[in-house]
A and B are shown apart, each in its own frame.
Chain A
């Protein structure tokens, strides 16, 4: 048996072995979906579609699950996860929206307008921002930004005006969105820069030859042609933001609360908790069956969201292929 392994490998055997290892990846994906769905099923089965709706206080429902013991009844599975879903959509959407403009302008700057000296600084900085672990972003958010917002930006009157509904302490929507934006911008910039470089140069030079200024040539020709890449980058970065758990759980205030845009400026300071942050924070009590099912259900929703965003990013990128330059 061992002697056969010693012989030089035939192509067929090498191909089969490498192929089998590659198929291992598919096996993992199937396992992820099957195992997660099995564990999540009780939560969906007891709640039906009202799982996605708002019904009462999420935090109380989760507490009830922890205390329900080893044999929870149907009432213990009750969960209306809308506040968490809403918080996820809100932070992710706002961060993606702000990040889109920020990263588009930064990418144009890097590709076209930055003097060489500045470019030599800014490119390593983008890579630095991409490399910093999320827990360090969270640390800066909770130790620097949140106290600053809580002490300087939120006035005592504002705190007093809502203290019977929700206490404001600085951690909340604004800090979460700000840190999240910085976290996802590097990915958006990288994909946008790639897209801008892939547009054939003569197109822009043609516009310049017609006498428009440099900015207008860039904006109306190159940026417009690279739109698919820009959108693909934004969507992919949104998928990243969707799954960010640790940083959000540190800086978003960790309350199952739905910030109300009608509150005016107070809206920006209200605490919230996303799906991913809930999973991380409640993973300690995962041994309670009701809690376990709920957490796996949340993770399954996140997985589906990330999958569809990846798919969307892939579709958004397709029009760019026809230029035939770099992908």
Chain B
């Protein structure tokens, strides 16, 4: 019989192909069901503790949701588009005192200045400590130094900035009076002090990322004949980009929310108040306001006393800060453990 034989119809059938193992096919062991123990059998002290714990947790939820809902309600009630797009003016009447365009621009400007100064220094310090770190005592000293800066109250930094930038050699950063006295208050000086607030956060995030890179990555790069400097630039820093952006976003949130440095170091002018004649630089040398100082001045504690404006500005500020925190979540989606890493809350 010369019937054509198909390859599949031989006497011994081919063994079935092993199915490609897709992740998820092997059934995860079913989650253990909690032992259903009744707390009624517990001792009284344990029961009190258990109830207190639930109470604390739920109170926390209530406070958080309450604050958010209240700010959103008040903010949406008082926020008008013309508030954002009009300049503020000094007027005891709330309806004539204008909006907060200048403070909004001030917040953006100060955040950018602060983070632009902080990021390079923080990355350099973190890279040096992880990759070079000799002599050891110096590395340890710098590490604790950054921790000290992180723990320094912002009001102390503000006063320090005032005395530092009133020295003659920093005269170009702010306004110099006739007699040669340096004013010391400007966007540049406030931004420089703000960078000290963001620096520990960028530093911590970068160092964490560098330490997480396994040693064999560096060794592979050295084996290819790259120098240490080239390894850092081409291999290590690109792979911690996400960490750096996380730290920077957190630092920006911290800068945008800080008030004490602004109140002391940015002068008290409501509008952007340029000094000198060089375009753009004159804005940086001048004084101004940010959303935080605007809220502070318009609260009953300040001179303005316009609570509606304060609520609206606070709502915008809250949106900015929460947006930055949301960005952190997007960047650092992977490798999330508890979501409450101390470095993420600025508590090292």
Residues in chain A within 8 A of chain B (CB atoms)? 8-11, 13-15, 17-19, 21-26, 28-29, 31-32, 35-36, 38-39, 101-102, 105-106, 108-110, 113-114, 118, 121-136, 138-140, 142-144, 182, 185-187, 189-191, 193-194, 197, 213-216, 219, 233, 236-237, 239-240, 242-246, 249-250, 254, 276, 279-280, 283-284, 286, 295-296, 299, 302-303, 306-307, 309-310, 314
Contact B227 A28 (CB under 8 A): no
Contact A134 B257 (CB under 8 A): yes
Please report the C-alpha to C-alpha distance between residue A28 and residue B153 in the assembled complex, in whole angstroms.
Answer: 15
Q: Which of B148, B259, B340 contacts A29 (CB 8 A)?
A: B148
Q: How large is the interface on B (under 10, 10 to 19, 20 to 34, 35 or more residues)?
A: 35 or more
- Given A14-B232, A36-B159, A125-B64, check contact A28 B196 (CB 8 Å): yes
Please report the C-alpha to C-alpha distance between residue A17 and residue B42 in the assembled complex, in whole angstroms.
Answer: 63
Nearest CB to that of B162 among chain A residues?
A286
Contact B156 A243 (CB under 8 A): yes
Q: Which of B120, B158, B345 contacts A190 (CB 8 A)?
A: B345
Contact B339 A135 (CB under 8 A): no
B-chain residues with CB within 8 Å of residue A307 when the two chains form the complex: 148, 151-152
Q: Which of B159, B160, B318, B346 contacts A31 (CB 8 A)?
A: B160
**Interface mask (B134-176 → A, CB under 8 Å = 1, otherwise 0):** 0000100110011111011111111110111000000000000
Please report the C-alpha to C-alpha distance between residue A242 and residue B156 in the assembled complex, in whole angstroms.
Answer: 11
Q: Which of A8, A102, A244, A283 contacts B264 (CB 8 A)?
A: A283
Contact B340 A18 (CB under 8 A): no
- Given A8-B230, A191-B347, check contact A250 B299 (CB 8 Å): yes
Q: Quick one: which of A101, A110, A123, A244 has the most chain B CB within 10 A?
A: A110
Residues in chain B within 8 A of chain A (CB atoms)? 37, 39, 41-43, 46, 49-50, 52-57, 59-61, 63-65, 67-68, 70-71, 120-121, 124-125, 127-129, 131-132, 138, 141-142, 145-149, 151-160, 162-164, 196, 199, 227-230, 232, 253, 256-260, 263-264, 268, 292, 295-296, 299-301, 307, 310-311, 314, 317-318, 321-322, 325, 337-342, 344-347
Tell me what chain B mostly uses at the interface: helix, strand, loop, or mixed.
helix
Please report the C-alpha to C-alpha distance between residue A129 and residue B340 in the assembled complex, in whole angstroms.
Answer: 12
B-chain residues with CB within 8 Å of residue A134 when the two chains form the complex: 257, 259
Q: Quick one: which of B60, B229, B299, B342 has the most chain A CB within 10 A?
A: B60
Q: Which of B141, B155, B299 contacts A138 (CB 8 A)?
A: B299
- Given A138-B299, A139-B310, A139-B311, check contact A133 B321 (CB 8 Å): yes
Please report the C-alpha to C-alpha distance between residue A285 and residue B110 in the assembled complex, in whole angstroms.
Answer: 24
Contact B228 A213 (CB under 8 A): no
Contact A125 B61 (CB under 8 A): yes
B-chain residues with CB within 8 Å of residue A14 when the two chains form the complex: 228-229, 232
Nearest-Cβ distance from residue A102 to partner chain B, whole angstroms: 6
Contact B141 A105 (CB under 8 A): no
B-chain residues with CB within 8 Å of residue A118 when the two chains form the complex: 57, 61
Please report the C-alpha to C-alpha distance between residue A245 and residue B296 in the assembled complex, in whole angstroms.
Answer: 12
- Given A187-B347, A216-B46, A310-B151, check contact A26 B145 (CB 8 Å): yes
Contact A245 B121 (CB under 8 A): no
Contact B307 A143 (CB under 8 A): yes
Contact B347 A142 (CB under 8 A): no
Contact B124 A21 (CB under 8 A): yes
